[in-house]
Structure 1
Amino acid sequence: MEYNGINVITTKQLATFFHTNVTRIYTIFNRYKEKFEEGKDYFLLSKKDIEEWSKSVHLPGLKHTSLLYLWTDQGAFKIAQSFKGLKAWQGYCNCIHYFYGAEEDWQNALNELFEKMARKVAEK
């Protein structure tokens, strides 16, 4: 989905990519807020902005939402830096696939590589 012509995802989608919850994403964001740039890494939509934007996308449950963060690829990758191990690699691959439409074979190859790396690190 897009906002102002830029591919974005919601915080809920980002949390799904990293097999975590929304609270964890917000915790990471708030801890490193100075490293994120609004309009480049994320967009913060007010109630009015949400109402207008939701006319062009189909996302259930926005009716009672008063603030909504939309993450760009750069913001998603900055969040990814806060995760460790296999969860980080899988989330990172999910972001690549979502934002860049990576071919399934390419993503599978990356996942295999990252899993091998994670096993080697775990063995040490």
Structure 2
Amino acid sequence: MSDLKIINHADQRVLMTNQLAESFGTSSDIINRNFQRNSNRYTHGKHYFALSGEELREFKGSRQFDATLKYTSVLYLWTEKGAWLHAKSLNTNRAWDAYEMLVDDYYNVKENLPQAPQSLELALQAALEHEREIKTIKSDVKYLKGSMRIDSLQQQEIQEAAKYSVVQALGGGDSKAYEDLSKKVFSAFWKEFKKHFKVPRYGDVPKVKFDEAIRFIELWRPSTSLQIEIDQANSQMAM
């Protein structure tokens, strides 16, 4: 984050849309689309600034900016709180990790400006309050990352691993046990799986437990009584 071009507006650090998108590993179009879809959640001056007209011309004139913004009629600048909402909309590990780094290495890096002695106590109080806010934000980020559910690709991987494990337990797709007991064994597997992870459906497994889910599938074996049924069914085929 140290290579981000510093932009100050209204006595705070902000980021342009393209900077935020690059940090979060997404595109400016997606940032803009998420903003439009959730515009009622954003407050001008708190989450963002929209520069236009003379204010935008002054901004362009006082800074070296991306040439692609030369003909921009409205420029959005995102505050720390605005970046938080965008990270929440994206809800990816990349976005949350980037947000934490932005908080530490960009938004909250203060310029070394001299302070009047009489304002020192107020400055210390503000710094302590700000530190408490940062700890709260990081706690929220940690909670949200921990509560993220597995994505569609991970769900597919779990499905395929489960199918392979159950079919192997049945003695293969051509076995008599597969023909007679596949529904029962699959039902038993998913019942144990959901009970172990305490979820109503496998798609609700937290992303942080994905590796554990794959390990569970690899180690899963039918119960003793179910294994006896499988062996009996397959022994009939052998006879």
Question: Does TM, scored on the shorter chain, surpass 0.5?
Answer: yes
TM-aligned CA deviation for residue 17 of structure 1: 0.9
Residue in structure 1 matched with residue 106 of structure 2 by the alignment: 98
Residue in structure 2 matched with residue 107 of structure 1 by the alignment: none
How does 1:41-120 map onto structure 2 within 5 Å?
41-61=47-67, 62-96=69-103, 97-101=105-109, 120=208
Residue in structure 2 matched with residue 105 of structure 1 by the alignment: none
Aligned length: 112
Q: 1:37 aligns with which of 34, 40, 43?
A: 43
TM-aligned CA deviation for residue 4 of structure 1: 2.0
**Is the 8 Å Cα contact of residues 50 and 76 (structure 2) preserved in structure 1?**
yes
Q: Which amino acid aligns with 1:38?
A: H
TM-aligned CA deviation for residue 98 of structure 1: 1.6
Residue identity over aligned pairs, in percent, reads 32
Segment drifting more, 30-39 vs 89-98: 89-98
Which digits, 9 at most, give the CA deviation of each residue in 1:40-63, with x for residues without a partner?
Answer: 110001142221012332213233
**Is the 8 Å Cα contact of residues 17 and 94 (structure 1) preserved in structure 2?**
no
Gaps of 5+ in 1: 102-109
**Is the 8 Å Cα contact of residues 23 and 95 (structure 2) preserved in structure 1?**
no
- Which 4+ runs in 1 deviate beyond 6 A? none
- Which structure's residues are more often strand, by fraction? 1
Gaps of 5+ in 2: 1-6, 110-137, 149-206, 214-239
Which digits, 9 at most, give the CA deviation of each residue in 1:3-35, with x for residues without a partner?
Answer: 121211100000011111000001111111101
Return the TM-score normalized by structure 1.
Answer: 0.77
**Is the 8 Å Cα contact of residues 47 and 65 (structure 1) preserved in structure 2?**
no
Which whole-Å CA distance do the structure 2 matches of 1:121 and 1:55 have between them? 50
TM-aligned CA deviation for residue 89 of structure 1: 2.1
